[in-house]
Structure 1
Amino acid sequence: MKGLTGGQIDEIAHGELRTRVLGEVFGRMERQFRPAAAGALSALIRWRITGESEVVYETTIADGVCTVREGRTDTEAQLTLMMGDAAFLRLVSGNGNPVTMVLTRKLKASGDLGLAAGLNRYFDIPKA
């Protein structure tokens, strides 16, 4: 991700490759979760990744466990994050500053903004 423009990332984020990359990223969230940092946190975080089509994943944090599922439930999320493919990949690879992304409207957050501000401390985010 480092060194690539948003357009370059968007060019490669299509079809089967996009599906595979999103699946890998969300599949690793459970393993990269830091239960000690989350403490008694209980939250549903909805990720809306836009691009060639919108894909929704939900991350549930409760009782020191993180679970991830593809798709949207009827449960109200405490936090919803919406961004394009390039912004998402920058964010989860540690190559994007979430505050800057919000200010430049590449990342839209609704709901518990305090949760959004501290989200990175609940996961080991690799630098790539």
Structure 2
Amino acid sequence: MTVNDTNPALLEPLEFARLVKRTPAGELRRLMHGDQRTAVLDELFARMPNVFRADRAGSLDAVIHWRIGDRPDGGVDTYQLVIANGRCELSPRPEAEPALTLSLGAVEFLQLITGNAHPVLLVMRGKLKTTGDLGVTAKFPTLFDIPRP
């Protein structure tokens, strides 16, 4: 099975993480430049509230914008997560002012959210840019149970 033949909605998170781990970056790039890009991103973001750790969020109230680059037309896809009252929800439109904006390429996004890349290393290499509240930035990586392939 290759990543281009796969619908992440049909795979368990750990299974998808293992698939991303064994797939070369060039193949991941082709996936994220193809017809499946929106479906892949939509599915992965839809899963985020299910792996949210409310116990680690405490009283955090924050709007997070994810800006996923490398779209075939040169643009970015923006997704908004709202963390409030111990819950995490995916917003249909990124309209609120974010406390934190995470900007990265599509391949790095796949690697990050599947546990195949560490956020600090991505920041150090200039692959992940963060803007906003430093407290939210520091806390954010601990708020989700990321699969460990």
Moved more, 111-120 or 78-87: 111-120
Please give the TM-score of this superposition, normalised by the length of structure 1: 0.90
Structure 1 residues 86 and 43: alpha-carbon distance in aligned structure 2, compared to 1, 3 A threshold? same
1:123 equivalent to 2:140? Answer no
Q: Which residue of 2 aligns with 1:9?
A: 28
Deviations 1:46-69 (A, max 9, x none): 000011231100010000111112
Letter in 2 for 1:56: T
Please give the TM-score of this superposition, normalised by the length of structure 2: 0.79
1:84 equivalent to 2:105? Answer yes
Counterpart selection for 1:64 from 78, 86, 107: 86
Alignment of 1:96-115 (within 5 A): 96-115=117-136
SS of residue matched to 1:105: coil
Counterpart selection for 1:25 from 12, 33, 44: 44
Letter in 2 for 1:76: E
CA contact (8 A) 1:46 1:81 kept: yes
Identity across aligned pairs (percent)?
Answer: 41
Deviations 1:67-126 (A, max 9, x none): 1124320x2211000001011011100110111101111101011233222212211111
Gaps of 5+ in 2: 1-19
Q: CA RMSD in A?
A: 1.5
SS of residue matched to 1:95: coil
**Larger strand fraction of residues:** 1
CA contact (8 A) 1:55 1:71 kept: no
CA contact (8 A) 1:92 1:125 kept: yes
Gaps of 5+ in 1: none
Number of aligned residue pairs: give it. 127
Structure 1 residues 5 and 70: alpha-carbon distance in aligned structure 2, compared to 1, 3 A threshold? farther
Q: Which residue of 2 aligns with 1:44?
A: 63
Report the Cα offset of residue 34 of structure 1. 1.2
